[in-house]
Amino acid sequence: EAGVVQSPRYKIIEKKQPVAFWCNPISGHNTLYWYRQNLGQGPELLIRYENEEAVDDSQLPKDRFSAERLKGVDSTLKIQPAELGDSAVYLCASSLAPPNTQYFGPGTRLTVL
């Protein structure tokens, strides 16, 4: 069974540029999560989807971050404009309905110059 797929794996951009990350969850998993992992720290939840509905986006910086999960499958996380402090690894995870085990993708490492 295929795991959580994320792309790109690495992204380097100049500050103030836009960037987007894509995630394809495990087939049949209706819950999808985006986490941000800063260097030397554990991941922190940005947003959680149940199907196509964002049910917890309290930690998402809404002034520059946006996310969508059209049709309740794939998801895209966008940053516009990017800032230096956004450099991090962005992880996507999926699960059956909580509190089932979350399975993580390999992440996208973003570097903002």
Partner 1 sequence: AQSVTQLDSHVSVSEGTPVLLRCNYSSSYSPSLFWYVQHPNKGLQLLLKYTSAATLVKGINGFEAEFKKSETSFHLTKPSAHMSDAAEYFCVVSDQNQGGKLIFGQGTELSVKP
Site of interaction with partner 1 (CB under 8 A): 3-4, 33, 40-45, 48, 50, 55-56, 91, 93, 95, 98-107
Measured from the CB atom, is 3 or 18 closer to partner 1?
3
Least Cβ distance, residue 38 to partner 1 (angstroms) = 11
Rounded to a whole number of angstroms, the minimum distance from the CB of residue 45 to partner 1 is 5
- Looking at beta carbons only, is 62 or 99 nearer to partner 1? 99
Q: Is 84 left (phi over 0), alpha (psi -120 to 50) or beta?
A: alpha
Please state, in angstroms and rounded to a whole number, the distance separating the CA atoms of residues 44 and 58: 12
Minimum Å gap between C-beta 81 and partner 1 is 27
Strands, E, within 19-98: which ranges? Answer: 19-24, 31-37, 44-50, 53-56, 65-68, 75-79, 88-95
| Closer residue to partner 1, CB minimum distance, 105 or 110 | 105
Residue matched to tokens 């986490």: 35
